[in-house]
Amino acid sequence: MPAPRPVALVTGSASGIGAGIARRLAADGLTVVVHSRVSRAAGLQLAAEIGGTYQQADLADESQCRALVTGVTDEHQRLDVLVNNAGVSWPIAHDDLSAVTASVWRELLDVNLIAPWLLTSAALGALRSSPRPGGGAVVNITSHAGVRPKGSSIPYAATKAALNHTTRLLAAALGPEVRVNAVAPGLVDTPLTATWAGAQQLWREQAPMRRAAQPADVADLVSALVANSYITGEVILLDGGLNLR
155, 101 contact by CB (below 8 A): no
Candidate list 156, 167, 184, 190, residue with the active-site label: 156
167, 159 contact by CB (below 8 A): no
- Identify the helix (H) or strand (E) that includes residue 181: strand 178-185
Nearest to 238 by CA among 205, 189, 201, 194: 189
Q: Produce one character per residue of 142-171: b if its CB has 16 or more CB atoms within 10 Å, e if not.
A: bbbbbbbebbbbbbbbbbbbbbbebbbebb
Nearest to 235 by CA among 139, 109, 115, 118: 139
Q: Produce one character per residue of 52-82: b if its CB has 16 or more CB atoms within 10 Å, e if not.
A: bbbbbbbbbeeebbbebbebbbeebebbbbb
- C-alpha Rg value of the chain to the nearest Å: 17
178-185 and 53-56: which strand pairing?
Answer: unpaired
User: Is residue 54 annotated as part of the catalytic site, yes or no?
Assistant: no
Rounded-to-integer distance, Cα 141 and Cα 177, Å: 21
Rounded-to-integer distance, Cα 191 and Cα 79, Å: 30
Catalytic residues: 156
